[in-house]
Structure 1
Amino acid sequence: MVSRSAAPGGPGRLPAEVTSFVGRGAELAALTALVGRSRLVTVTGPGGVGKSRLALRAAAQLADGFPDGAHLAEVAAVHDPLLLGHAVLEALRLTDHTARPPLDVLVEQLADREALLVLDGCEHLVDACAELVDALLRAAPGLRVLATSRQSLRTAGEHLLPLAPLPCEPAGDRDGAEAEAVLLFADRAAAVRPGFRLEPGNRDGVALLCRRLDGIPLALELAAGRLRALSVEQLAARLEDRFRLLTGGDRTAPDRHRTLRTAIGWSHELCTMQERLLWARLSVFAGGFDLDAAEYVCAGRGLDADDVLELVDSLVDKSVLDRLDDDGAVRFRMLDTLREYGTHWLRAGGDEQRLLRRHRDWYLGVATWGEVEWFGPRQAETAERTRLAHANLRAALEFSLAEPGEEQFALVLAGTLWYFWVGTGHLGEGRHWLDRALALAPEPTDARAKALWVTGYLATLQGDLNRARPALEECRRQALETGDDRALAYAVHRQGCAALIGDEPARAAELFEEALWHYEALGELNSNVLMAMFELALAHLFQGDEEKGRTWVERVRETCEEHGEQWAYGYCLYAMAFARRQSGDLRLARAFARESMRLNHLFRDLLGIVLAMDLLALLATEGPDADLHEARVLQGAAHRLWRAVGTPFFGSRSFNGPHLECEQRARDGLTEQEHAAAFRLGSRLDLDAAVRRALGGGEPRRERETPPRSEDRGGVPLAGQRE
C-alpha cells in the first residue's frame, strides 16, 4: 500500500540549460516584471521563436521568490486532456491516493502554496489548459502561472507577452553593436565549428543570412549546423535557392511560418538519406529517449542498428536533436516543431504504424524489466528510469488502445506498470488506463486477470472498496475457471487487503495465509509477497496476537535483508515499531518508526510516511520524555498527508486506534488553545518539513505557536471536535 510523492518545495524541477542563453534581455526583463505583477502570463509566438527558452530562463530567475518553488509541466508531451491534471500533479511532485479528479487534488494541495507553475506547449490542449489554469488561480492565491503557447489561453486575468523573432539589426546607434540574431548565430556556429567568430570577412554574410531567416532562433540554429561543410556565403546562397523552391507551394501561409518550414525542409534536404530516415522514425518518441531505445525502435528496413549511434550524433550536431544529461545518463529529445516535420515524412512513407508498434514493444519491455527489478536493491533506480520513460509509456498505452487488435497489449502494459502506479504515486492515472483497457477487452485472458487485480489494488489504496471488491472477485472467479493460479493468488491477496481495511482482521489473516500458500506453491517471491507477509503481521497485531505478528515481521525482515529490498522493508519497520510499542519497548519502537519514515521518504511514499508519523505522534505521548505538544504537531502534519492518501486511516478502526489514543492524551494534557494551535502548526508543514521534524532535524521541538484568535481558527478542530 504505497505511493511516492512530495509537496512542492525547494527550487522545483526546472531543467538545466544545455546551451547558452543569447540576447532577449529586454524580453526577459519584461517577462519577469509581468510575472511579478500578474498571476497568469502567456508567452505567445510561432513555433521555433524561443518561447520555452525564455519562459524557463525567467522562471529560473524568479524561483527564489517562491517559497514552494518553480515547476515545469511539459504539456506538449500530453495528448489526452484527461491526463493534463496528472501531468501537472507530477510536475509539482504531488500525488493522491484517492479517486478524486486530479483538478480537485491540485486545488486542495495548492490552496496555501506560493509557487510558480510553467505550462509549456499549451496550444494543442488550449481549452483544457484554460480550464485548469482558471480553476487553480481562483483557488490558490499564492500560485502564479507562466504558460507558453502558439495562441492565448483566453482566460480571465491573462496577460500576453507576444514573442517576436530576434532582431536582425543592431539596437540603437552604438558603434560595434551586433544584432541579437547575429550573436545567436555566431554562438551556435562556434559550437559547431570551433574558432568561428564574427569578423569583417563574414559579418555581412551572417547578417544577410539572419535577415533571410527572419531572426527565428530555431531556423538560425539549424542553419548554423551546416557550417561544418559550407562557408557562410555558400550557406546564404544555397538557402536563397531553397527559398525560391520551397515557398512557392503555400502562398497562404504566414511569411514566418513559411520561413521556418523552409529552414527545416532545407536542413532535412541536406541530411543524408539515413539521417532523414532516422529523423522520421525518431518522431514516434514522446519526450526524451535513450540510445538503446532509438536503436531498437528505429533499426531495420534500410537502417542498421550499428549505425544509429553515429546518425544520432550527426542529428545532434545539426540541431535536430537535443542532448540531455540526467545524472550521468545521456538522453535525447526532439523539438516539437521538428517532430511534427518528421511525423509528416513517416506517414508519407507509410511506415508510421510499424514504428509505433515497435515503440510500444520497447516500452512494454521497459515496464516488464522494471517489474522484475522492483524486487531488490535497484528499486530507486527502477522508479527513476520509469519516471523518465513516463511520456513514452503514455504514448505506448494510447497506441495500444487506439489501434484495433492491440487491446491485449494495453492490458499487459497497464497491468505490468502496477509498481509505477503504486510505488511512485500515480494511482489515478493507473486507473485511467486500466479502466479504458478493461472496457475494450472483456474476454477472460491472463492479461485481463492481471489488470483486474491491479485495478482492485489501486482502488483499495484509494479507499474505493465499491470498485475494488467487484474487480477482485471477477479476477478470482476467472482465475478459478481458467486455472490461472497466479491470478488467483493475487486476487485473494488483495481481497485480504480489503478485509484488513474493512476491520475484518481475522478474515484478512485467513485470506493472506491462503494467498501466501499459493505464492509458495508457485515459487513466487517479490515485493507483493513480502507485503502480504507484512499485512498478515498487521492482521495478527490488530487482534492482539503479538507473537504471531512478530513472527511474520521477522520473516519479512530476513527476506528483505537477503534480497536488498527496501520498499517492503519500510513497511516491515512500521510493523516492528507497532509490535515493540505493544510490548512496552518505547526506545526501539521510536527507532523503528523513524527508520520506517526515512525509507518511505526515500521513495516519497505517502502512505508509509503518514502511518509512521501517526505512530510517532502516539509514541511522543509516552515515557518520561513525553511531549504532548509535539505529538499534536505531528498529528496536524499527518492529517494534511491523509488528505492526499484518502479517507484518514481508510476509515478503519484498527488503523485509527493509535491516532484516537494520541488525540485523547493530547486533549487531556493541553489547554483547548494549545491543542488547536499545535495541530494548526503541524498542518502548515509540507511533506519534507514534516518528515524533518518527525526525524528530529526540523524546527525546535519546544517551539509554540501563538494561540489563534477565535476568528482565525478556520477549520482547525477544537476540543471536543474530531479532525
Structure 2
Amino acid sequence: MSGESATAEPQDAGLRPTDGGSAAAGRLPAEVTSFVGRRSELDDLGHLLGTARLVTVTGPGGVGKSRLALRAAAAASRDFPDGVRLVETAAVKDPLLLGHAVLEALGITDSTARPPLDVLVERLADKRLLLVLDGCEHLVAGCAELAAALLRAAPGLRVLATSRESLQTAGEHLLPVAPLPVAAPAGGGPPDAVALFADRAAAVLPGFALTERNAPQIRLLCRRLDGIPLAVELAAGRLRTLSVEQIVHRLDDRFRLLTGGARTAPLRHQTLRTTIGWSHELCSSQERLLWARLAVFSGGFDLEAAEYVCAGDGLDADRMLELIGELVAKSVLLREEGDGVVRFRLLDTLREYGGQWLRSTGEELRLRRRHRDWYLGVATWGEVEWFGPRQTQTAERIRLVHPNLRAALEFCLDEPGEEQLALLLAGTLWFYWVGSGHLGEGRYWLDRALALAPEPTAARAKALWVTGYMATLQGDLARARPALEECRRQALDTGDDRALAYAVHRQGCAALIGDDPVRATELFEEALWHYNAIGELNSNVLMAMFELGIACLFQGDADAGQIWLERVREICEEHGEQWAYAYALYAMAYSEWLAGEVRSARAYARECVRLNHLFRDLLGIVLAMDVLALLGTEDPEADLVEARVLQGAAHRIWQAVGKPFFGSRTFNGPYRECEARARAGLTEQEFLDAFETGSGLDLDAAVRRALR
C-alpha cells in the first residue's frame, strides 16, 4: 500500500502562456495528503493511458475518481512532452463555456471572435499532451462533444476524464472505480479503507495509530460507510470531537454527522449529503423516483425484483430496464455479475439518501409491503425447490438475497398487523436456517415472531416445529421440548395433520439427541405414518428416515438401520436430492465403521463433508469430520496427530453450531474413542499442540484438511 505523497511535475515545453495568459491554472495540483491504496486501479489506468486516447474514470460520488486520475496523470506526465493539463469542468455550469475553460487551463489567451474550439484545434494539432477533464457528469454531452472534436483534430492528444457516468463517445475506454476494500487482504495488513481512516485520523489526532483494541470498531465504521473514501475521510475528521465508537453509534444520521470537509475542497465534496445530492440533481425525475424506491432493497437485487417492487404509479414497467441502465451509467447503482446473472446494488450511503426521499413521497409503507411480498415469494419457491436437483442453486440464491430477507422480516415485526406473515416467512425459511448454517439467526427471528403472535394459527404451528427443530440441533432441549409439545397440542386441537406429523417427527429428534433411541424410534415411525397418510414427501421426510436409520444403529440393529438408509439413498437418487443424502452418508460411514469397513466408511464420510460444504451446513460437516478423525486412528500406521488436528478443527465448528454433539452421549461416542486413542499414542504436548493447530483452521481450511 502506498502511503507517500506524489507531486505532479508539469511539462510546459510546447504550450507557454501567451498574451497575458497563465498556464498555472491548468497544472496538476500537488498532493497535500498521502495517497492510500488503489494499486491495481493505478496499474490499469496507466496501461489504458498508454493504449487508449480517451479514458473515462467512472464511479459514485466520493469514491476518489479525481484523486486516482490526478495520480495516474502525474505518473504518465513523462510520456507527454507538451504537458499534462487539468480542466476542472465541475466548476463550469454552461456547456458553451467548456472551450474557454480548456483554453484557460492551457494558458492560451485569444481575443479574437473565433469559437474556442477552433482555437483549440489550431493550437493542439501538433501537440503531444494529456488533457484531464475532471467532473464531467453535469455536462456529459458537452464534454463528450469537446473531447471527440479535439481527439479528431489532434493525433497526439489524449483525454482522461472523470465522471459519474460515461461520455458515451467513440473510442472511449472505461475504468469503473469501486469503493475501497473493507475486507482484510489475503496477504495480511489492514484493508485499504481502514488504512485510509488511520492515515487521516493521525493528521487530526497526532499519535493516533491502528491497534488491536480500536481496529474492530474502525473496520465496522468503514463497512458502514461502504468504504467510500470521502465518507471515511469525513468520519476521521470527526475525531476532533468524537471517539470512533461514538462515530459508529451516530452513523444512523450520517448525513448530519459527516460534514466539515476541507474548506479548499470542491463544494460538492465538502459534505457527504452535498456529494450524494450532486448525483441526485443529475438524474431525471423518473430516475430519482426509481432511486428512492430502490432504497427499500438491502444488499443486491435482480431486475425481476426491481420490476415487481418498483414499477407502477409513475414508473412504467416497460422502462424499468432503461432506467436501471441509466442509474448504472450514473454510478448510482453498482452492477455485479455472477453465474450468468446480473444483480444491482445501491451503496448503503446512497440507499439511505434515497430512503429519505422515499419517506418524503409517502410511499415507503406501500413499497416495503411490495418488497416483503416479493421475498416471501422467493422463500416459498425456495422451500419447494429444496426437494430436488436444484438444492445447491437454491441455497446460493437465498444466500444472495439474505439481506433482503432480513429487511422483510424486520418490516413484518415492526409493522403492527404483520406478525403472522413474520411467522410464515421465518418458518418457511427453515431449509436455509438449518441447511446453510444459520441456526442462531433463524431462532432469533422465530423467537421474536412467536412472542408477538400467540394466536394458534397454521403459521404459528409451523414456526413452533421449526423452532423446536433448530433448538434440538443446538442441544437446547429445554426450549425444544415445550415448543414441539405446544405444536403437537395445537395440531390435535385444530385438526392440522401436517403440523402433527412435523411435531411428532421433531419430538423424535429431541428423544434421539436426548439419548433415548428407543423412544426416538417409536416417534419416527409414527411421524412417517402421518407423512404417508397426508402424502408428504420432501427433504424433511427423508431426514425422518435417516434419523430412524441411525436410531436403529445406536440400538445395535445394523440390518434395520441399513434398510432405512438404503431407502433414503434410492429416493434421493430418484429426485436429485443432495442435502438429506449427505446426512445419510454420515450414517452410512458410521455403519461401515461399526462393521470394520474403514475404506468405505472414509469414502462416505468425505463425500458427506464435501456435499455439506456446498450448502455451508456446519452441522453436517462437523458430524462427518469427527467420524473421519476416528477413522484416521484405524489404520495400521495411524496418523494420530492428524486425527487430533481434525478433532480440533471440528471443535471450532461446533462452537458456531451449539453444544458439541448436541450434548448427547451417544453422538459423542466416536469423538471419545478417537480422543482416547490419540491420548494413548501421543505425548501430552503433541496431543495438545495438534488440537490447537486444528482449532486455528477456518471452515474452508478445515474442509480441505479433511478431504485431502
Aligned partner of 2:185: which letter? A
Aligned partner of 2:682: which letter? L
CA gap of 1:674–1:264, structure 2 versus 1, over 3 A, is closer
Contact 1:72–1:119 (8 Å) recurs in 2: no
Contact 1:282–1:294 (8 Å) recurs in 2: yes
Contact 1:120–1:149 (8 Å) recurs in 2: no
Q: Secondary structure at the match of 1:503?
A: coil
Equivalent position to 2:440, from 428, 438, 459 = 428
Equivalent residues in 2 for 1:69-148 (5 A)?
117=219, 119-120=221-222, 122=224
Q: Secondary structure at the match of 2:342?
A: strand
Q: Indicate the residue corresponding to 1:154 in structure 2.
A: 243
Give the TM-score, by structure 1 length. Answer: 0.65
Equivalent position to 1:362, from 374, 383, 386 = 374
Note the aligned Cα RMSD (angstroms): 3.8
Equivalent position to 1:278, from 281, 290, 294 = 290
Distance in 1, matches of 2:552 and 2:539, equals: 20
Q: Indicate the residue corresponding to 1:64 in structure 2.
A: 186
Q: Deviations over 1:634-677 (max 9, x none)?
A: 22222222222222212211111122122222223333333333
**1:500 aligned to 2:512?**
yes
**1:288 aligned to 2:300?**
yes
Contact 2:426–2:445 (8 Å) recurs in 1: yes
Distance in 2, matches of 1:57 and 1:563, equals: 44
Q: Deviations over 1:340-392 (max 9, x none)?
A: 44334433333221111111100100111111111222122111211211121
Distance in 1, matches of 2:461 and 2:309, equals: 29
Size of the aligned set, in residue pairs, is 518
Distance in 2, matches of 1:56 and 1:316, equals: 13
Q: Indicate the residue corresponding to 2:150 in structure 1.
A: none
CA gap of 1:642–1:345, structure 2 versus 1, over 3 A, is closer
Distance in 1, matches of 2:328 and 2:186, equals: 33
Aligned partner of 2:475: which letter? G
Q: Secondary structure at the match of 1:307?
A: helix
Aligned partner of 1:311: which letter? L
Aligned partner of 1:154: which letter? S
Equivalent residues in 2 for 1:560-575 (5 A)?
560-575=572-587
Q: Secondary structure at the match of 2:603?
A: helix
Give the TM-score, by structure 2 length. Answer: 0.66
Aligned partner of 1:305: which letter? A
Equivalent residues in 2 for 1:260-275 (5 A)?
260=275, 263-268=278-283, 271-272=284-285, 274-275=286-287
Q: Secondary structure at the match of 2:314?
A: coil
Distance in 1, matches of 2:454 and 2:29, equals: 57
Equivalent position to 2:267, from 214, 223, 243 = 214
Q: Indicate the residue corresponding to 1:664 in structure 2.
A: 676
CA gap of 1:673–1:262, structure 2 versus 1, over 3 A, is closer
Equivalent residues in 2 for 1:252-263 (5 A)?
256=271, 259-260=274-275, 263=278
Distance in 1, matches of 2:661 and 2:702, equals: 18
Contact 2:461–2:490 (8 Å) recurs in 1: yes
Equivalent position to 1:49, from 62, 76, 91 = 62
Aligned partner of 1:581: which letter? W
Equivalent residues in 2 for 1:640-659 (5 A)?
640-659=652-671
Which has the larger displacement, 606-615 or 551-560?
606-615
Q: Indicate the residue corresponding to 2:88 in structure 1.
A: none
CA gap of 1:292–1:313, structure 2 versus 1, over 3 A, is same
Equivalent residues in 2 for 1:538-577 (5 A)?
538-577=550-589
Distance in 2, matches of 1:147 and 1:550, equals: 65
**1:410 aligned to 2:422?**
yes
Distance in 2, matches of 1:513 and 1:151, equals: 64
Equivalent position to 1:518, from 508, 530, 546 = 530
Contact 2:630–2:670 (8 Å) recurs in 1: yes
What is the deviation of 1:503? 0.1
Structure of higher RCO (CA pairs closer than 8 Å, 6+ residues apart): 1
Contact 1:118–1:147 (8 Å) recurs in 2: no
What is the deviation of 1:336? 3.9
Which has the larger displacement, 649-658 or 360-369?
649-658
Q: Secondary structure at the match of 1:653?
A: coil
Equivalent position to 1:322, from 334, 340, 343 = 334
CA gap of 1:654–1:624, structure 2 versus 1, over 3 A, is same
Contact 1:122–1:147 (8 Å) recurs in 2: no
Q: Deviations over 1:255-294 (max 9, x none)?
A: 74674465245324xx14x434323322221222111011
Q: Secondary structure at the match of 1:655?
A: coil
Contact 1:636–1:680 (8 Å) recurs in 2: yes
Q: Indicate the residue corresponding to 1:490 in structure 2.
A: 502
**1:447 aligned to 2:536?**
no
Which has the larger displacement, 57-66 or 445-454?
57-66
Q: Secondary structure at the match of 1:332?
A: strand
Q: Indicate the residue corresponding to 1:395 in structure 2.
A: 407
Contact 1:49–1:163 (8 Å) recurs in 2: no
Contact 1:534–1:556 (8 Å) recurs in 2: yes
Q: Indicate the residue corresponding to 1:537 in structure 2.
A: 549
Aligned partner of 2:465: which letter? W
CA gap of 1:463–1:28, structure 2 versus 1, over 3 A, is farther
Q: Indicate the residue corresponding to 1:240 in structure 2.
A: none
Q: Secondary structure at the match of 1:324?
A: strand
Distance in 2, matches of 1:578 and 1:324, equals: 43
CA gap of 1:587–1:448, structure 2 versus 1, over 3 A, is same
What is the deviation of 1:56? 7.6
Distance in 2, matches of 1:420 and 1:374, equals: 9
Contact 2:268–2:278 (8 Å) recurs in 1: no
Q: Deviations over 1:208-250 (max 9, x none)?
A: xxx8x5253xxxxxxxxxxxxxxxxxxxxxxxxxxxxxxxxxx
Distance in 2, matches of 1:146 and 1:459, equals: 44
Distance in 2, matches of 1:308 and 1:441, equals: 38
Distance in 2, matches of 1:464 and 1:493, equals: 17
Contact 2:301–2:344 (8 Å) recurs in 1: yes
CA gap of 1:522–1:618, structure 2 versus 1, over 3 A, is same
Q: Secondary structure at the match of 2:688?
A: helix
Q: Secondary structure at the match of 1:65?
A: coil
Equivalent residues in 2 for 1:245-256 (5 A)?
256=271
Contact 1:376–1:564 (8 Å) recurs in 2: yes
Q: Indicate the residue corresponding to 1:606 in structure 2.
A: 618
What is the deviation of 1:121? 5.2
Distance in 1, matches of 2:548 and 2:476, equals: 21
CA gap of 1:439–1:377, structure 2 versus 1, over 3 A, is same
The unaligned stretches of length 5 or more in structure 1 are: 1-21, 34-46, 74-109, 125-144, 169-210, 217-254, 697-723
Distance in 1, matches of 2:306 and 2:447, equals: 30
Q: Indicate the residue corresponding to 1:334 in structure 2.
A: 346
Which has the larger displacement, 296-305 or 432-441?
296-305
CA gap of 1:370–1:23, structure 2 versus 1, over 3 A, is farther
What is the deviation of 1:59? 4.2
Q: Secondary structure at the match of 1:323?
A: strand
What is the deviation of 1:461? 1.6
Contact 2:436–2:618 (8 Å) recurs in 1: no
Distance in 2, matches of 1:628 and 1:258, equals: 61
Q: Indicate the residue corresponding to 1:586 in structure 2.
A: 598
**1:456 aligned to 2:468?**
yes
Q: Indicate the residue corresponding to 2:116 in structure 1.
A: none
Q: Indicate the residue corresponding to 1:480 in structure 2.
A: 492
Distance in 2, matches of 1:518 and 1:61, equals: 49
Q: Secondary structure at the match of 2:185?
A: helix
What is the deviation of 1:583? 1.5
CA gap of 1:464–1:70, structure 2 versus 1, over 3 A, is farther
Q: Indicate the residue corresponding to 1:693 in structure 2.
A: 705
Distance in 2, matches of 1:638 and 1:287, equals: 32
Distance in 2, matches of 1:261 and 1:643, equals: 42
The unaligned stretches of length 5 or more in structure 2 are: 1-27, 40-59, 69-176, 195-211, 227-231, 249-257
Q: Secondary structure at the match of 2:666?
A: helix
Equivalent position to 2:633, from 621, 634, 654 = 621
Distance in 2, matches of 1:424 and 1:319, equals: 33
Aligned partner of 1:384: which letter? E
Distance in 1, matches of 2:534 and 2:244, equals: 57
